[in-house]
Structure 1
Amino acid sequence: MNNSQALGLRRERLPELQLVRACAIIGVLSVHSTSFAVSAMTSSQYFWTYNFLNIFMKFGTPTFIFLSSLVLFYNYYSEPITLKRISGFYKKRLLYIIVPYTVFSVFYFGLLHYLHYQGRPLGETMESFFTKLLTGKAYTHLYFVFISIQFYLLFPLILWLLKKMPRLARWAVPIGLGIQWTFILLNKYYWQVPNKGSWALSYIAYFMLGAFVGIYYPKLKAWLTICRTHATPLRTALWIILWLGWIAAGLGHVYVYYNSRLYGTAYNSTLYELMWNLHTYLGVIVLLQLASLVYRGAKPRVTDGLMRLGAVSFGIYLIHPFFLLVYRQFPPETGSSLMMHLWYAGGFAVALMCSWIVVEITVRWLPGSWVIFGRVPKSKSTGQQQDIAASRSLRT
Structure 2
Amino acid sequence: MSKPRIEEWTQLRALAFLAIVMQHSIAEYIYRADIEQADSIMLTMVYHLTRFGTPTFVFLSAVLLFYNYGEYSGKMNYFKFIRKRFGDVYVPFLCWTFIYWLYVHVFSPSFWQKGGQDWGSLPKELVIPQNGYQLWFINMIMQFYIFFPIMAAIYRGVRGRLHSLSERTRSRSVFAIIACTGLFYFILLYLSYHQMGPWAEALGRPWSDLLQYRSYSFLMYGFYFVIGAVCAANVEKWRTWCTKLLPWSGLVFLGMYIRLGSDVLRGSGEVVNLNISTYLKPATFIIIIAQMLLLYGLLIMMQSRNKTFLRLLSWIGRYSFGGYLVHALVIYIIGNFTRPLELGGSHLRFTLLTFMLTVSASLGISCMLSRMPGSRWIVGAKKRSLQRKVSEKSDYRSKSRVFS
Q: Shorter-chain TM-score: what band?
A: 0.7 to 0.9
> C-alpha offsets along residues 246-302 of structure 1, whole Å, 9 cap, x if unaligned?
22112311221122335679999799712211111222222211222233321x322
Report the alpha carbon displacement of residue 91 of structure 1 after superposing the two structures with TM: 2.4
1:69 to 58, 62, 66: 62
- Residues 76 and 306 of structure 1: CA distance in aligned 2, closer, same or farther (over 3 Å): same
Unaligned ranges ≥5, structure 2: 163-172, 201-207, 395-404
> Alignment partner of 2:255: what SS?
helix
* 2:17 corresponds to 1:25: yes
- Residues 130 and 286 of structure 1: CA distance in aligned 2, closer, same or farther (over 3 Å): same
Match of 1:199 in 2: 217
- Counterpart of 1:113, as a letter, is H
* 2:180 corresponds to 1:174: yes
* 2:336 corresponds to 1:343: no
Distance 2:276 2:341 in 1: 38
Give aligned pairs, total: 365
Distance 1:165 1:140 in 2: 37
Report the alpha carbon displacement of residue 315 of structure 1 after superposing the two structures with TM: 0.5
Report the alpha carbon displacement of residue 18 of structure 1 after superposing the two structures with TM: 0.9
For residues 110-189 of structure 1, what are the structure 2 equivalents within 5 Å? 110-116=102-108, 117-120=111-114, 125-126=119-120, 128-166=121-159, 170=174, 171=177, 174-175=180-181, 177-179=183-185, 181-182=187-188, 185=191, 187-189=196-198
- Counterpart of 2:263, as a letter, is V
* 2:340 corresponds to 1:329: no
Report the alpha carbon displacement of residue 119 of structure 1 after superposing the two structures with TM: 4.1
- Counterpart of 1:102, as a letter, is L
- Residues 157 and 371 of structure 1: CA distance in aligned 2, closer, same or farther (over 3 Å): same
- Residues 388 and 347 of structure 1: CA distance in aligned 2, closer, same or farther (over 3 Å): farther
Match of 2:315 in 1: 308
> Alignment partner of 1:82: what SS?
coil
- Residues 383 and 107 of structure 1: CA distance in aligned 2, closer, same or farther (over 3 Å): same
Match of 2:165 in 1: none
2:284 to 276, 289, 305: 276
Contact 2:10 2:317 in 1 (8 A): yes
Match of 1:211 in 2: 229
Higher RCO structure, 1 or 2 (CA under 8 Å, sep 6+): 2
Report the alpha carbon displacement of residue 148 of structure 1 after superposing the two structures with TM: 0.8
* 2:195 corresponds to 1:190: no
> Alignment partner of 1:45: what SS?
helix
> C-alpha offsets along residues 81-100 of structure 1, whole Å, 9 cap, x if unaligned?
4233x444222211110110
Distance 1:370 1:326 in 2: 25
Contact 2:64 2:232 in 1 (8 A): yes
> Alignment partner of 1:46: what SS?
helix
Contact 2:40 2:272 in 1 (8 A): no
Report the alpha carbon displacement of residue 49 of structure 1 after superposing the two structures with TM: 1.5
Distance 2:273 2:64 in 1: 40
Report the alpha carbon displacement of residue 153 of structure 1 after superposing the two structures with TM: 1.1
Match of 1:394 in 2: none
TM-score by length of 2: 0.80
TM-score by length of 1: 0.81
1:250 to 246, 254, 257: 257
Match of 2:397 in 1: none
Q: Report percent identity of matched pairs.
A: 20
1:223 to 227, 241, 247: 241
- Counterpart of 1:373, as a letter, is V
Report the alpha carbon displacement of residue 353 of structure 1 after superposing the two structures with TM: 0.6
Distance 1:27 1:137 in 2: 20
